[in-house]
């Protein structure tokens, strides 16, 4: 089971498992204050996707006495109901966090607050290596080494190759920044991973990347992505 950090949201003053956080975020949006932050908090910690603060307020007033916070369910506020049609309990909305692909180029779109990490991979034929790059939206970070004292999820890259190819040596990664006194480190801007390979003929490599992305206020759900690239040919 994935663990998420309990966060006291700076500038709002309530932890993510305190129902007052949802109420306060709606109030900020109603007042036109910190609208972007309020929207990110509401869509991170609920399964609702309303477009106006009035809709959020109506939902909150309707269900506030039945809302409960679940860690095992993804660190979300859900409605205590067995009725599947109740607004706020539909996990299918989380499909919207999958990375979007540009239909013209086939590449993932740019990073944003809604999609703060874009993962790409290609084969560098000149240097016989697979390069995996995670582009991280400004203000966000993903984790390198995670101390046993912290609840974050470290970034992982795994590569499986078919045919007569194999990896050589260890996976190399770009520099990290010290995150706290526990020894946890983070990547910011871009995180790059390089893996030397060798082989003959043409083969496919399956690159599995997983990460957890946070900013100073919100931790997003852990993400996973599989990228298939062809070796001995530019991708």
Query: Model's pTM, two decimal places?
Result: 0.63
- pLDDT tens digits, one per residue of 10-22: 556 788 889 999 9
Contact indicator for 96, 115 with CB cutoff of 8 Å: no
Q: Rounded to whole angstroms, how far apart are CA atoms 162 and 202?
A: 9
Q: Rounded to whole angstroms, how far apart are CA atoms 211 and 12?
A: 26
Count the Cβ atoms, other than its own, within 10 Å of residue 132. Answer: 24
Mean pLDDT across 48-72:
93
pLDDT grade, residue 7 (50/70/90)? low
Mean pLDDT across 97-102:
44
- pLDDT tens digits, one per residue of 120-175: 999 999 999 999 999 999 999 999 999 998 878 899 999 999 888 999 999 999 99
pLDDT at site 149: 86
Nearest to 181 by CA among 139, 150, 154: 150
pLDDT at site 181: 94
Q: Rounded to whole angstroms, how far apart are CA atoms 46 and 153?
A: 21
- pLDDT tens digits, one per residue of 171-205: 999 999 999 999 999 999 999 999 999 998 899 99
Q: Is 28 a residue whose pLDDT tops 70?
A: yes
Q: Spell out the domains of the chain, with CATH numbers in brackets.
A: 20-95 (no CATH), 107-231 (2.60.40.1250)
Identify the residue with better confidence: 119 or 96.
119
- The tokens 């860690």 sit on which residue? 71
DSSP E strand boundaries for 24-145: 67-70, 76-79, 117-124, 129-136, 141-143
Nearest to 231 by CA among 161, 134, 171: 161
CA torsion, ordered 11, 15, 19, 20, to nearest 10 deg:
-30
How many separate helices (H) and strands (E) can be counted in the chain?
3, 13
Nearest to 114 by CA among 53, 33, 42, 211: 42
Distances (CA, A) of 132 to 77, 94, 209: 35, 25, 9
Q: Is 100 a residue whose pLDDT tops 50?
A: no
Q: For the chain, what is the mean pLDDT?
A: 85
Strand partners, 194: 131, 172
């Amino acid at each position: 089971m994935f663990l998420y950090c309990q966060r006291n949201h700076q500038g709002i003053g309530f932890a993510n498992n305190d129902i007052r956080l949802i109420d306060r975020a709606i109030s900020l949006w109603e007042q036109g204050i910190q609208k972007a932050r309020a929207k990110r908090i509401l869509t991170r910690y609920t399964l609702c996707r309303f477009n106006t603060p009035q809709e959020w307020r109506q939902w909150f007033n309707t269900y506030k006495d039945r809302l409960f916070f679940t860690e095992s369910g993804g660190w979300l506020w859900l409605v205590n109901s067995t009725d599947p049609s109740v607004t706020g309990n539909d996990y299918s909305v989380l499909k919207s966090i999958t990375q979007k692909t540009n239909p013209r180029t086939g590449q993932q779109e740019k990073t944003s607050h809604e999609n703060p990490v874009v993962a790409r991979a290609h084969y560098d034929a000149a240097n016989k290596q697979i390069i995996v790059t995670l582009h991280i939206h400004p203000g966000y970070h993903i984790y390198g080494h995670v101390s046993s004292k912290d609840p974050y999820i470290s970034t992982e890259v795994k590569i499986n190759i078919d045919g007569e190819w194999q990896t050589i040596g260890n996976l190399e990664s770009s520099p990290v920044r010290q995150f706290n006194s526990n020894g946890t480190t983070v990547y910011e801007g871009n995180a790059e991973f390089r893996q030397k390979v060798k082989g003959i003929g043409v083969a496919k490599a399956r690159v599995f990347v997983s990460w957890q992305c946070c900013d100073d206020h919100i931790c997003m759900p852990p993400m996973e992505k599989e990228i298939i690239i062809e070796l001995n040919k530019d991708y």
